[in-house]
Structure 1
């Protein structure tokens, strides 16, 4: 029975605004990608002026994503992935890592950025045994993701799903109800599913992080660093697996593959907490 609600999702922009910086594009710039514009590079440089090791940190985050994907398959037995806040296609995307381990793995990517939409075909390559798909939606409205027919056409929500939220929850203020949004996603998947989160923090250098936050806010981009304790709270409804919420480089380093990105070994710890939880 219908509740009369429009399930078609919000009307997200499909044109690219090159006059304003965008999260996916300055992240791409830090990774050394080419899908960014002068306004993105300018903001990326302003942040890097306060956090000089930011490029190493985002490379650590990319490596963490790969380890978390391999862990989900080999240790948790999960072969379905809902990757939200996908970002621009780059080396070692979720489907590439997952389908190397299990060619039948299935992946749904979600992002609100129209530039990611424009590159969606690169995200939808797949092995014959597996499947990948892309949903153009905004996590602020989780129903726009869960109600999209692409989701259930690709993933079997009666079986465990690995929900991936790497470097995205910092764009949500507490007033946006990030805990409620995550709870809604977890409600849609069965026990045994997993939740992967990485999240910037001010725990290591409050002053430098505050300056980076101000640079983002002046550019119209929300940026909310969270403490380790607050990041742990985002895993409510799950049991956090060992080694718990730790810095990126300390999360199961034994699962690392040879990095495709140069990482400065002397950069110090990434100012980013990371962990994986298993839905109870």
Structure 2
């Protein structure tokens, strides 16, 4: 418990994408999620025991500490902390649970592992958590992290809290995922290079999320606007879409010529102005 922050929240402000007028909110545990730029696993556990039994055990513990307070001031201090926990539980009807979270990272070399160790510790520090590098029961924690092995988790590695506070340690952000729609365009995950298929307009339109398929592509010169549009238009055409382009810079003439040759002149018709053949 000494390693935990004094307070938690459901989300926190991400300064890099926030401005004076707007906030970009990420989950409280985002620093150890996608913001931690190394191969890692963030394991999150909530053990829902018998809450009433837990509170009875804390009541007994509080009385024992009160009895032993004359021998050590630490017992009196711990008794006050337990009393505060019990007061919160009874006043607001909160459920007592056990929680545990850990970050598992790996590397090919010792030098890289040392760097990752520092990065993970810094990410935990952003959550106001005190990094504690486990070197004793790492194999046990690894085994308990395998789906289905949660029952083998060592109980001494968990701490008591309430459900609301435990959920604050969950990461809400996920990595890029392929759309369920069979229609879409092929993209890549910017972090891992994993190929993905995204339906940017048709599925959202069917679900009523959007009312049209308009796209606004904004970027400075040389940023890849025409490259992306060529990529999108080609894949839309290959999936049976009818495409009409108004091209002011001949950015799509090469794609049209490619399709024109492949279809032996049936598709890829490109009308353009030349001095010999002006468009009238």
Shorter-normalised TM range? under 0.3
Instruction: Determine which structure has greater relative contact order: mean sequence separation of CA pairs < 8 Å that are 6+ residues apart, divided by chain length.
Output: 1
Greater radius of gyration (CA): 2
TM-score of the superposed pair, with normalisation by structure 1 = 0.21
TM-score of the superposed pair, with normalisation by structure 2 = 0.21
